[in-house]
Amino acid sequence: MKSFLSLGMGRSGVTLEAPRPASGVLRHQDEEALAKLWVDIAKAEAGCIRVIEEVGRYREAIRSTQEAEERLIKELGGSGLAATNFELRRVSDEYLSVILEMREKSESVGGAVQEVLGDPLRDYHAQYEHLDTLRRRRDAQLATLHKIQDKLDRLKIKGKRTTDVVVERDSALKQLRQINTQLLAEAGRFHALRLPLLQPCLQALVQTQVDYYGTANATFTSQVEASRGAHLIPASQYEDTIAKHLGTIRDLKIVAT
């Protein structure tokens, strides 16, 4: 399956391959433990993929929203309606000031996502590269052992001397067991790193989102209150005026398209 590290947050092209089965070659307990651990890693990886995909969509949504609001204000300000309607032009100018104030915050969200998720995941990726190298060594050693065993079986069938091949087979099996033991330990450490690494990253991401929406709410609220005070009109009349302007905006062709 694809790794979350290949989804734009880390280096690309990484795949999460399971070790080749070695039933009848390695101890059943070791083989079962490695298989179970790899299933757990794959499940956790699938969850990380979903998180990263959602984070990517969130980052794109923030960028698209900012661009859409700036485009709307630009089109509205350049329309003939705004040129002839003083109230609409004043509302547009006020809204523009809020949008421009939010631009820096919107841009910082993308950078924050990379900082709190992308950079830590690159460090985590380095751990996986070592693990994958070890996994490939184990699979290669297993293939070597199978070749030696096939050679030994052919010699036995032909009734030829097998002493040297038996020694070679036993040596290859010993090396395979050593690599498998190391892989099991390294895979366990790799999997154990995930929670302490990702938990503070996700907490930082949530804090970034809270900061963004808090700033947006405070900025828009402040602008509305300032605008209401500047016009010195009752709240109900102000709301009716804003609703009328919004209705006019919705009727514009650029909004309909």
Convert the pLDDT of each residue in 64-115 to its tens digit. 888 888 888 888 777 777 677 777 777 777 788 888 888 888 888 877 877 8
Q: What is the model's pLDDT at position 10? A: 43
pLDDT value of residue 238: 66
Confidence (pLDDT) at 75: 80
Question: What is the predicted pLDDT for the residue at 25?
Answer: 92
Which residues of the chain carry a pLDDT beneath 50?
Answer: 1-13, 254-257
H-assigned helices in the chain: 28-77, 80-84, 86-113, 119-158, 163-231, 235-250, 253-256
Distances (CA, A) of 163 to 42, 92, 105, 211: 42, 91, 74, 72
Q: Where are the domains of the chain?
A: 4-256
Shortest CA distance to 18 belongs to which of 35, 43, 6?
35
Task: State if pTM tops 0.85.
Answer: no
Q: Residue 21 gets which letter from DSSP?
A: P
d(CA 238, CA 219): 18
Q: Per residue in 232-251, is it b (16+ CB within 10 Å) or e — as a string?
A: eeeeeebeeeeeebeebbee
List beta partners, residue 2. Answer: 15
Could you count the other beta carbons within 10 Å of the beta carbon of residue 69? 18
* CB neighbour burial string for 156-184, b if at least 16 within 10 angstroms, e if fewer: eeeeeebeebeebbeebbeebbebbeebb
pLDDT value of position 255: 44
Q: Which CATH code, of 3.40.50.970, 1.20.1270.60, 3.40.50.300, 3.40.50.1110, is assigned to 4-256?
A: 1.20.1270.60
Cβ within 8 Å of residue 184, ≥6 positions away: 30, 33, 34, 37
CA distance 207 to 203: 6
Contact 34, 19 (CB under 8 A): yes
128 neighbors 186 (Cβ within 8 angstroms): no
